[in-house]
């Protein structure tokens, strides 16, 4: 262990509640970042939230806090708890984007946060989120076209809309207004772009494979899903994404 690492460990162990309140923002953020990198959301927030009180307009910090609340959603056991955590994630992302609309990570945080809320929302909220997500991810890509996660989010947006059947579209139009049109081909193009930009994220491969399954391209679906399944987990969502991929594969047998 290096001297720097030893010092950080000692500080983590020694810093209690009152010390946290008195610590400077940059020190708190640095400590939070160590847990952010380890996907330890609860621990990261112990440092990020006091730092936010000191620097409420720190866009990067707000983006990180939003991600940590999204990660807590994954571990939450009740729909009510997930909804509360998701709303908090959305609020932090929106704050970051309002402070700096030209920050691509802030726009991406908005898109991802709204996407995570989708299973918990009413039909009207889902309808409204479709446009919010598209607007935010389009801005993120325009600001930074080489961000693979932005292309992934756009791919999921196309994928979800392509799966809405004509009957549901007609019902949505009567109740809320016309849904945008999309295709699985557009979704596949986005996931292909994400893989080209970052071939080390397993979610890109599995999502592309699942789109190919919807398109009837069974061999391609197997190939890309199996590629993703063979890769090590590195992100919070990876186990759930792999589970979805395995479920798709079982339908081929």
Residue 3 — pLDDT band, cuts 50, 70, 90?
Answer: very low
pLDDT tens digits along 142-198:
999 999 999 999 999 999 999 887 766 676 665 666 777 889 999 999 999 999 999
Phi-psi label, residue 152: left if phi above 0, alpha if psi -120 to 50, beta otherwise: alpha
**pLDDT at residue 1, as a whole number:** 36
The 3-class secondary structure across the chain, one letter per residue, is CCHHHHHHHHHHHHCCHHHHHHCCHHHHHHHHHHHHHCCCHHHHHHHHHHHHHHCCCCHHHHHHHHHHHHHHHHHCCCHHHHHHHHHHHHHHHHHHHHHCCCCHHHHHHHHHHHHHHHHHCCHHHHHHHHHHHHHHHHHHHHHCCCCHHHHHHHHHHHHHHHCCCHHHHHHHHHHCCCCCCCCHHHHHHHHHHHHHHCCCCHHHHHHHHHHHHHCCCHHHHHHHHHHHHCCCCCCCCHHHHHHHHHHHHHCCC
Q: In whole angstroms, give the CA distance from residue 28 to residue 48.
A: 6
Task: Note the CATH architecture for domain 59-144.
Answer: Alpha Horseshoe (1.25)
Q: With bands split at pLDDT 50, 70 and 90, how would you rate the model's confidence at 26?
A: very high
CATH (residue range 148-253): 1.25.40.10
Mind listing the pLDDT tens digit for each residue in 52-111?
A: 999 999 999 999 999 999 999 999 999 999 999 999 999 999 999 999 999 999 999 999
Count of Cβ atoms closer than 10 Å to residue 212 Cβ: 23
Task: Tell me the HSE value of 119 on the side-chain side, using a 13 A CA sphere.
Answer: 7
Dump pLDDT digits (tens) for 199-246: 999 999 999 999 999 999 999 999 999 999 999 999 999 999 999 999
Task: Record the pTM.
Answer: 0.88
pLDDT of amino acid 178: 73
Go through 45-58 and write b for each residue having 16 or more CB atoms within 10 A of its CB, e for each that does not. bbbbebbbeebeeb
Domain ranges across the chain: 1-56, 59-144, 148-253
pLDDT of residue 164: 81
Q: Does this chain's domain 59-144 share its CATH topology with 148-253?
A: yes
Q: Sign (positive/negative) of CA torsion 162, 168, 173, 175?
A: negative
């Amino acid at each position: 262990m290096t001297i720097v690492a030893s010092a950080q460990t000692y500080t983590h162990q020694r810093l209690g509640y009152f010390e946290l309140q008195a610590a400077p923002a940059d020190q708190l953020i640095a400590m939070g970042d160590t847990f952010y990198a380890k996907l330890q959301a609860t621990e990261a927030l112990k440092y990020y939230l006091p730092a936010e009180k000191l620097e409420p307009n720190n866009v990067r910090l707000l983006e990180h806090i939003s991600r940590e609340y999204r990660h807590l959603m994954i571990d939450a056991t009740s729909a009510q708890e997930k909804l509360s955590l998701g709303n908090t994630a959305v609020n932090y992302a929106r704050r970051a984007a309002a402070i700096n609309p030209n920050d691509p990570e802030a726009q991406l945080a908005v898109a991802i946060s709204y996407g995570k809320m989708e299973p918990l929302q009413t039909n009207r909220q889902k309808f409204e989120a479709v446009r919010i997500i598209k607007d935010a991810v389009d801005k993120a890509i325009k600001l930074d076209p080489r961000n693979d996660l932005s292309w992934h989010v756009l791919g999921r947006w196309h994928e979800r809309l392509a799966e809405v059947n004509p009957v549901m579209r007609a019902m949505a139009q009567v109740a809320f207004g016309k849904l945008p049109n999309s295709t699985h081909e557009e979704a596949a193009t986005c996931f292909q772009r994400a893989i080209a930009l970052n071939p080390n994220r397993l979610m890109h491969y599995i999502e592309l494979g699942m789109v190919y399954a919807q398109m009837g391209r069974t061999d391609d679906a197997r190939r890309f899903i199996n590629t993703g399944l063979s890769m090590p987990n590195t992100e919070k969502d990876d186990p759930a994404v792999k589970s979805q991929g395995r479920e798709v594969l079982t339908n081929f047998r």
